[in-house]
Structures are given as C-alpha cells and as structure tokens.
Chain A
Amino acid sequence: MAVESEHWVFYFDPNRCIGCHACSVSCKQFHGRGSDTDDWRTVTHHQKGTYPDVEDVPLSMSCMHCHDAPCEKVCPTNAIEKRESDGIVTINRDDCIGCKYCGWACPFGAPVYGDDGLMSKCNMCLGRGPGGGADVEDTPKHELEDQVEPNCVSDCVGEAIKAGPQKEIIEEASQAAAERFRSGAVANGRVIVEPLQDSTSAVDGSVGGTKEVTTPYNAGD
C-alpha cells in the first residue's frame, strides 16, 4: 500500500473562498447529475454575530477521502474501496445495497442516498457519474492516462480548492496549515485547511471539529 503521503487529499483555503458555489455547480454538471439531487460538494455559509459585528464564512466541502475512511469500515458488502495506490475512496454500485451505513458513519455526510436506492459520492473525478471510478485500475490517479483535474478544483473561482497527493499539496500550503494538518487538528487530519485570517471565530474552529461541517442537506439520511 502506498504511503499516506502519496494519497490524494483536498486542500481548502477559506480566505480565498468567495462562497460562489461554482465548485458545487461544476461538480454536478461534470457528473451529469440532476439539479435536485444532493450535492457531492457543498458550500455552506456560517454566520455569527449581530449587525454590524457580523461574520459570514463560506466553506466548501466534499468527501475527504479519509486516510482512515470510516465509511469503508462499516460497509457490509465491501462496496466501498479505499484505493491502495492513491487513497481515493470509490463506491462500486453493483455491490451497494443502499443500507446507508456509510452515510451515518461519515462525519461529513459525504455519501448521499439517491432515488435509485444506492449511495454515491465524490470520486475525485477519477470517473464520471455515480459509481464512477470504481472500475478504474488501481494506479495512482496522477499516473493514469487521460485523467482530469477534479472539476471543482479547475472551476473554483477563488482558487480556494486544490487536490493531489498529500506530499505535493502540503508543500503548497502555508506552514500553519501544514502543521494543523499533521497534528490532526483540522477535520481529524483529513483535509488541509488554511487558518482563517484575522479571525478567531468559532467558525474557524468548526472546521477542526466535525459538527458544523456536516452539511445538513446531503447527509446520508
């Protein structure tokens, strides 16, 4: 198994996120998913304070392709696979029985339950559409031929999201973000997040926890 540092991770910089939802829209378009289906990538807006002392911070989240992948562990049919080569977590829909365990286990509400009775989620654009990527050979994404950059990354207006092997992404991150990631302080070490500048708000802290990050409208249930 490839070491964790070779595994793909997402990076998010809330300082550059302008809350425009382009990432979310582009994800759905790329994967040919209807407007009314739940988002694989969600943007939420976290507000606190009273006018004029208001803070309103946007957060863009998707499946984190966790190193410890709780969803994979609970899946009774082994439909969920964490790829050894690049750590991308895929769902094989032939084996999915729609029991929603992964949705409950996932701290981010990333797997979503579809009208077809099956789960689906972000596959880092390893393949297209629900279940995409499950049949792709287990060679690191960056070594596969004809692979595209995750669509949310290439369409992010604020250039707030990045994705790639952890050791590369961490090099591009600020020292503070890298340290927080290594110490597991942010989202249990699942996503590299830049600290929110000029802010000591609870909103920033919430990225480190898992509570507010769970996106209410696309949780597994």
Chain B
Amino acid sequence: MTALEHFLTALTLQAGYNSALVAVGAGLLGIAGGGAGAFVFLRKRALVSDAVTHATLPGVAIAFIVMVLLGGDGRWLPGLILGSAASAAIGLMAVEWITARTRLGEDAAIGAVLSVFFGLGIVLLTVIQTMEGGKQAGLDSFLLGSTAGMLIGEAVLIAAAGAVAVGLVVLLRRPMTMVAFDPDYAATLGIDVRRTDLAMMGLALIVTVIGLKVVGLILVVAMLIIPPVAARFWTDRVDRLILISAAIGGVSGYLGAALSAAAADMPTGPIIVLVAFALFAVSLAFSPRRGVLASALRHRRFQHRVHLRQGLLAMARGEAIYDRLTLAILRRRGLIRGDGVITQEGRGAAGRAQLDETRWSTARRLRADDPVLERYDGLTPIDEHLTSDQVAHLDSLLPKPEST
C-alpha cells in the first residue's frame, strides 16, 4: 500500500480499531481544545495555558513514583492524568497568585511557573530513571506525545474524556461567552466572573491532561491557541468564533492522527500541530474579511480610486501627468489614448470629477460644521451624501465656470 492509501484507510477509520479510536479521540480533543481555546483567546490569556501545560510534568512524575511505591504499575494512565491535573492546577494558581499579589506581570509569572515546574519535572524524571523498573517508564512519551502502541483502554479513555470536555464546552458556553465578550456587563447580569474564568482555565486544563498522551505536553498548548486565532479571521461574532474554532481543532486532531497513523516516522503531536498551522495559514491568506489577500485587494482598489481621481482632476486642470500608475489606469479605462492624448470619454469624466470637487469645496465652505460634509474623503461623489435637491441648490450657488 502507498502512503496515500494508508492515509485514506486511516482517515476512513479502517486502519484497525486502535487507530480509529485514536483518530476519533484526537478529533474530540481538537474540538474541545478549539472550543475552550476560543474563550481563553478572547480573554487574552493564550500563554497562561502554556504555563499550565508545562506544569503537568511534575504531577505525572510524582503520580508515577507514588503508584510504584504503592506496588502498582506506574504507567496506569488514569493515575498519571490525575497527577498531571493536580500539578497543572497548582501551576495555574501560582500564576494567578504571583500576578495578583506581587508587582510582577503575568508574563513573568507565566515564564517562571513554566520553567520551574518543567525543571522540577525533569529532576523527578531522572529520579524515576534510577528507580527499580523505572528504566522502561516511557514517560518521555508525555513530552512529545505518542499514539504508537497505545492500549485500547487508553484510547477509549482519551476518546471518552474528549467527549466529556466537548460537553462541558457546550454547557458552559453562555456564561463564558458573556465574560469573554464583556466581563463588566457579565458581572451586572449576576455572572461570577472569577468563577467563570476558573471554569474556563479548568476546561483548558482538562484538554491539556487528555492531550498529554496524544500531543505531548510541550505542544498541547497549540491545540488551545492555534484554532481560535485561525477562526478569528472568519468571523466577528463570538458564538461563531467558538464553533469555527472547535471545527478547526477537530479537523486538525482527526486529520493529524490519521496522517500520523499512515506513516511510520510521523509523530502524532507535531503532525496535528502542523495541520492546525496549515489551516491557520490558509485563514490568514484567504479569509475574505481580514485575510492578507483580501486586504491587499482592498488596498489596490483604494489606490486605484485615488490615482483615477487625481488623474481626472489633473486632466481637468490641463496639467501633465507623469505618474506611471495613474497613466496606466486612465489608459486602461479608455480615458486617454496610448500616446497620452485625452479621449472624448476622458474629457467628460474629468469634467464630472472637477464639478464634484467644486461642489464639495463650495459646500464645505458654506456649511463648515455640517457633519455630513465631514465625510469628505476626496473620492466619494457628493451626490452619495446629499439629496438631489441639495445638490441642485448647491449648483445654483457655484461660481460661474470660467469660459475657456
């Protein structure tokens, strides 16, 4: 089978029960991450989740050590998830505490918690390596995620937890939307802003700990950050942002897991992140509202209007035009000939532009404080702002055109 066939097999959930569960789990994880991430993004706390994800490591290691000391299997996933959730919660509280109680900013709190918890986690990992049976702990897979050789029970757990997280996003969407959109207004409606923020970060924490095994703790934060940033390009409405973000997350998770199952040396976490980034890049380039292409086109259209108008006014005043772009635009519209001589049509257009300019300047002189006339931008014809009666009245006041 070629890689493409492998990919299609995995995509259509036929690559074995395990891969199918992993793909579904990663998809659900992506949906939950995109949904929760949208709120985090709107509250401008994207990087707080980076501290939270790195803070999971000591918890994972301590849980492993405790389970081994109790005589159990250190790799039991629910135990590791519990440990990681506990230490991530402590990390989150540390960020909040440092920000609220000291003069340090949130960025310093995030950087400190992230690096110190991670460093402590590494110390504990080296402790585990010296323990009996710790050599094959495989906790390294939590750094970058690994779905190869995942047990069915683990895949089921991840898929189920992903479904629960999606459910929580749906349940909590109203208060979280209100708080994300306008915290002061939300408070007047009786929503507890602090608790809602905590619930939001709690949701991010759940996504993180489920994502550990699939995406790994260094990259799982991407599942919270990239989808909402990409989604923001497509809408200005909060409810749609959440839906689109969840969709982008879901597609990234599902496609990434399927791609990774199709080839041997394609690590799941990085592939999922790169798929999400590809969707972001497409959004950045092609979104009709805020995309780079759309704004380049808008800029070009505006530039053309300015050059056209200035060219016509110059023609009306009988001045020579040297600007290349202006000449090209006038030529393309048939207002001047190839050799630069003004056409019949050009003469008419220039006259109309000159008349409009005169109307504007007269009107602005007569009624300097009229807000309607403050919309003058040197481009829009005045009859788009005034009624035909007003224009007719204005024309009667115009200075007599000089006879040429």
**Is B a genuine binding partner of A?**
no
Interface residues of A (CB under 8 A from B): none
Which residues of B are in contact with A by a Cβ distance under 8 Å? none
